[in-house]
Amino acid sequence: MGRAPLTATDERRSVEELEDLAFELREKLLHLCGTYEGAVHIGGDLSAADIFTALFEYGMNVDPDNISNPERDRFVLSKGHAAVCMYIAMAIRGFLSYDEIVETYGQLDSAYGMHPCKVQLPGVEASTGSLGHGLPIAVGMALGARGRGDDHRVFCLLGDGETGEGSVWEAVMAARSNKLGNLVAFVDRNRQLMTSFAEERVMFEPYPDKWRAFGWNVVEIDGHDMSQLVAALDALPASDSDTPTVIVAETVKGKGVDFMERNLAWHAGSLGAADLERALAALNDSREKETV
């Protein structure tokens, strides 16, 4: 990565450690989904859990002792409905309190809501939730870094569905035009919209080619393979290079819980006690299968 880590005591995580952390993130997500009575966007949280883990625990240079360290890498959650996955990933990394998240999520005056709010939770980089807004904001942050000569990166996580929004492609052009090699977009390519499967309603394919045609550096990976996530992050071009990078991460919506995987019903939902147990058992099973 080139730069010295902001937290000198941190050692780089191994792939195995990262896999354990991703498991912990999924477990905690399910617990929240079984605690909170309203709907949690669990499908798109689970599809992005490995990406979040790879970013917060490995790829991004962040400082849990100083959440607003000016040298930190920035993270813009464009798919804002995965806020709870970001909160918990940040809690696991040491920024936020998981207990506080679980105890207050979605309640009156809580900092933790369905979509992240910078005013209520200053630790997040931007208020997002309306789809197609995050990448332009990330472009602005990357321009700001360039303007000051800072060498941190700006990461932005998008869902593939939201790349139907025209504003995404406006930002894609702006990033290339302004030579923002310090910008890294992740697309959580789970191939599901809220109410349909992507290619049935909206033909995104040839998807990586669309980004290539706009002049981006395109990396295609399995978004649930931690070693591929790590390799993609290790191979990022220097932040002072000219070409923005997109990592198109093929994922499965609901990943890790068999009855949620690729199931349109589980875009969002809540888990009663029995189903929480069932979900946690399924999550354990899926890990055992992968270990085998």
Partner 1 sequence: MPVTFTFGEMLSARSVIGSTLAELGAEYPNLYVLTPDIGATLVEFRDGFPDRFIDVGLAEQACVGIASGLAYDGNIPVVSGMLPFLSMRALEQVRTDVCYPNLPVKIIGTHGGLVGNGGSTHYAVEDLTLMGALTNMTVTSIGDPAMVGEVIRQSMTMEGPIYIRLAVGKKDKVLYEPGEHDVRIGKGIVAREGTDATIFTHGTTVAQALDAADELAADGHSVRVVDMWTLKPIDEELVLRSAAETGGRFVVLEDHLAYGGLATRIADVVADNGVHLTAFERLGIPQVYAGFGEDQELREKHGYGPADTVAALRRAIAVQP
141 binds partner 1 per the rule CB under 8 A: yes
d(CA 269, CA 215): 38
- 147 touching partner 1, by CB under 8 A: yes
Instruction: Determine which residue in the list 97, 107, 177, 196 makes contact with partner 1, applying CB under 8 A.
Output: 177
Binds partner 1 by CB under 8 A, chosen from 84, 114, 117, 157: 117
Minimum CB separation from partner 1 for residue 178, in Å?
7
Q: Work out how close the CB of 95 gets to partner 1 at its nearest, in angstroms, rounded to a whole number.
A: 17
Place of tokens 């919209």: 193
Rg (CA), the chain: 18
Q: What DSSP designation does 57 have?
A: I
The footprint of partner 1 on this chain (CB under 8 A) covers a number of residues equal to 33
Check residue 181 for interaction with partner 1 (CB under 8 A): no
Q: Could you identify the residue written with the tokens 């080139």?
A: 2
Which has the closest alpha carbon to 184: 233, 225, 244? 244
Interatomic CA distance for residues 118 and 111, integer angstroms: 9
Name the segment binding partner 1 (CB under 8 A); options: 47-55, 125-133, 198-206, 225-233: 125-133
Q: Is 272 a binder of partner 1 (CB under 8 A)?
A: no
Binding status of residue 286 toward partner 1 by CB under 8 A: no
Q: Binding of partner 1 at residue 142 (CB under 8 A)?
A: yes
Residue 18 binds partner 1, judged by CB under 8 A:
no
Q: How far apart are the first and last CA of the chain?
A: 32
* Binding residue (CB under 8 A) for partner 1 from 26, 28, 79, 133: 133
- 62 near partner 1, judged by CB under 8 A: no
127 binds partner 1 (CB under 8 A): yes
Distances in Å between the Cα of 21 and the Cα atoms of 25, 267, 271, 289 are 6, 23, 22, 17
Residue 157 engages partner 1 in binding (rule: CB under 8 A): no
Residues 198-237 that bind partner 1 (CB under 8 A): none
- The two beta strands, 245-250 and 217-222, are parallel
Q: Where are the alpha helices (DSSP H) in the chain?
A: 15-35, 42-54, 83-93, 98-104, 134-148, 166-177, 198-201, 207-213, 226-234, 273-291
With CB under 8 A as the contact rule, the residue among 5, 38, 144, 272 that binds partner 1 is: 144
Under the criterion CB under 8 A, does residue 79 sit at the interface with partner 1? no
119 near partner 1, rule: CB under 8 A: yes
Is 178 one of the binding residues for partner 1 (CB under 8 A)?
yes
- Say which DSSP state 255 is in: T
In whole angstroms, what is the distance from residue 154 CA to residue 140 CA? Answer: 10
Contacts to partner 1 by CB under 8 A: 74, 76, 117-119, 125-127, 129-130, 132-133, 135-147, 166-167, 170-171, 173-174, 177-178
